[in-house]
Each structure stands twice: as structure tokens, then as C-alpha cells.
Structure 1
């Protein structure tokens, strides 16, 4: 017998949480209820759920902020999430969906509709997981989340490291001078120096080498600047 899909419910109103838990249990799910963001983070870290339902108006943290924190946990980026809130303003729905949430349900809601949406999200997730995997490119950028992955692993970058790598990724092989990088990445390029770019390139290289020590993804062209190596091997 297969275990029931585990659904994390983060809702501080007990009456609403009871309704959600009953509806989920009646449809074959195992609901885990948390009343605060702090409690949700602990439960999520212990075992990522199949799906998370997040109330936006929590007592200790905004639901949108909690969404980002959960996504940053191991496995969090692969867990679908649904926002549940009393707010019905369009801007709130837009913010939630632009963050990357899978759905948005406004209170008052139908428990049966909520469960149907949960089932629909999980069906889409399973289909996506069983689809043929796309080839893994050496460097990939998610512009909306300001996130760059290197051979499938996310890089923890400072604002300027991200900006430099983003510029280099636009045109692999193209040499960018230090002045060009300053102009495109820094808010006040006239107040910075060439060595500022060099320092950030050094820390960026160290983070890239931590993932693939044998490769040199950022080339130095003496007297000219820096370029992204266009001959990086594809991922295995």
C-alpha cells in the first residue's frame, strides 16, 4: 500500500485549517498543519511534502516571504506550492504567481475546489517529472528569480557576481572590457575602479571552481578584459 501524499498546510486560523485537513484526509491525503512560518520551516526541513498550502497572512511572517524561504531549503524548489489568503486583490494574485507559486485561492473557498486544485497541481507535477529530461547546459539563468545554475547546481552569488556572469552569458566568447562590465553592472561605474571588477571575477571563479575544479569558465584576455568560455563541455 502506497503512503498517502503529504500536504503541508500553513494556516493560523484553526477553523479553516480543520476544514482543509478534513477535506484533504477525505480525499486520501495526509495533512500536516502548521500555524506559523517558523513551524512550517521545521516540518519542511524534516521531510519536504508533496505540496504546500500557504496562507499569506501568518502571525510571524508574510506568506510570500515564507515561500522564498521554503524554496531555499533542500528540495524546496521542486515542491509545488499554493497560496491561500483572504486577499482577493489582483496585485496579490500576480505577486504570488510571479514568485513561482502553482496556484492562488482566495477565501472564502470551497474545500472540494481546493482539493481538486491540489490534485490538478500534483498531476501536472508527476507528468513533468516523468517527461524526458532536457539536456543539462553548463550555465543556465532564471531571470525572474535572479538565479544562475552551473551544471545543474545553483550558485550563491552576490549582486555584482550575478551581474557580471549575466552579462558574460549573453554572448559567450565575446570579450567584455572592465569598463563595459562596470557600465553594465554597477549603478555608479564612475565611482568604481578596474580592480573592483577583478576582485569580483576572482570570487566568481572560486564559486564556479567549487563545482567544476577542472574547468575555466571565465577567460582573462590580457589587456582587453574577460569572456565566458564558449567551449564548456555539456553536462554528463
Structure 2
């Protein structure tokens, strides 16, 4: 089945450029000049990913991302920002909302295609199927699902990959650099602080008290460790 990407971009020249290169790579596109109607169409069509500019008329891309993550049918779908806002504070704000990647303008179309494909690969279920059960937490790698106390928890593809990677190696300590290499692989565009943002988001979803986590522990000055509750 051909993948479809929803591109929300108010600059028609950039929209045409993105469409040309994505469709040249075999990826269908739907273009939107603003956020109007995006959520309703996405619920109907269920795209493979969203590519969002931030500075668009009306509700900006950050607010649109927030709505995507708050909509249960859409929350797991990858979100990539494509924007001129290049400061680290903007990147971290994007990741804090649950973005899976953050690409700044001007951009290389070939790099855009490569990074989109990398994000989509994170969303693919692994070839080996395993279930991890620890305490009140259950992670199903085949279904890419997480449950806490038997209740489903919605995660993004990147959040799931990071959680699964740590949970499948309980007791091992990983530096932020090691986690970047393992989960993101292409680390040239992700900062170490981005790992902290994702860890915080995961804790907010799986921990009863995110400030005093049982599962996802911090080793100050070193990195993170997944710990099976005793």
C-alpha cells in the first residue's frame, strides 16, 4: 500500500518542491496551506506521517501537532516539523510536543526524503515479536503497544522505540549518546537534550509518579537505566 504524507505548508513553492521529491521517491502527498481541515481529513484517511511547517496562517504547526497528539486515532502517527525556526529552544519545544524529527529551512530535498524514510522505519514493527512484562507495565513489540495496569497507553513511534530498547535490556546503563545511536541512528540532527525530553514524556505516560520513577531511572552524570520493580 502506497504511503501518504500530509504536508502542511503555506509557501506554495516549498509545497511543490516537497511534493515533487516525495512523489519521486514513491510517497504520495496531500498538501494543505494551513491547519484547517487537517485533523478531520487525517481521521478519515489516516496518513503515514505529518510534515508540518510551524509558521502557518491561523493555528500554527505547534498547535496542530498538539491536536494530533491529543487525538487518539492520530496520536501514534509520526510528526516531522519542517520550519525556519532553527534555535535549539524551538527544536526542544517541538520534541516536547511529541515530534519525531525537526528539519530546518533551508533544507536539502534528498535529506528530507532520507529522514522521512528513517522516521517511517521506526514505525514499522520489528521482525521478532516479544512481550515484555514488568510490574504493571506490558510492552508488545509486534503490536507496538504499551499497557499500564491493563490500560492502553498511546506512544509515538520514537517514544515506543526508546522505551522498548531500554526495557528489553533491564539493568544496563546507557549514555545519551548510546541511546541516540540505537534509537535515532542518524544523530547529526538530534541533540543530547532531546533524549531527556523523550525520557520525560515516557515517564509521564508509564510512571505513577514521574518525579520519582520506578522503571526509567536516571544515573546522574551518566545516563538512563530501565529497572524492573522488585
Structure 1 position 138, deviation (Å): 4.7
Counterpart CA distance in 2 for 1:84 and 1:102 is 11
Partner of 1:84: 82
Counterpart CA distance in 2 for 1:76 and 1:43 is 11
CA contact (8 A) 2:8 2:53 kept: yes
Counterpart CA distance in 2 for 1:118 and 1:131 is 25
In the TM superposition, 1:1-236 aligns within 5 A as 3-127=1-125, 131-135=129-133, 138=136, 151-153=150-152, 166=208
The unaligned stretches of length 5 or more in structure 1 are: 141-147, 156-161, 173-236
Structure 1 position 115, deviation (Å): 0.6
Structure 1 position 39, deviation (Å): 2.0
Aligned residues: 156
Counterpart CA distance in 2 for 1:171 and 1:67 is 27
Counterpart CA distance in 2 for 1:41 and 1:171 is 34
CA contact (8 A) 1:81 1:103 kept: yes
Structure 1 position 137, deviation (Å): 6.3
Partner of 1:206: none
Structure 1 position 91, deviation (Å): 0.6
CA contact (8 A) 2:69 2:98 kept: no
Aligned-partner SS, 1:37:
coil
Larger radius of gyration: 1
> Could you tell me the TM-score, scaled by structure 2's length?
0.58
Aligned-partner SS, 2:116:
helix
In 2 relative to 1, CA 51–20 (structure 1 residues): closer, same or farther, beyond 3 Å?
Answer: same
Counterpart CA distance in 2 for 1:44 and 1:171 is 35
Structure 1 position 128, deviation (Å): 5.1
Counterpart CA distance in 2 for 1:154 and 1:166 is 13
Counterpart CA distance in 2 for 1:34 and 1:128 is 32
Counterpart CA distance in 1 for 2:101 and 2:213 is 35
The unaligned stretches of length 5 or more in structure 2 are: 139-146, 155-203, 215-230
Structure 1 position 149, deviation (Å): 5.7
Structure 1 position 73, deviation (Å): 1.8
Larger % of helix: which? 1
Aligned Cα root-mean-square deviation (Å): 3.2
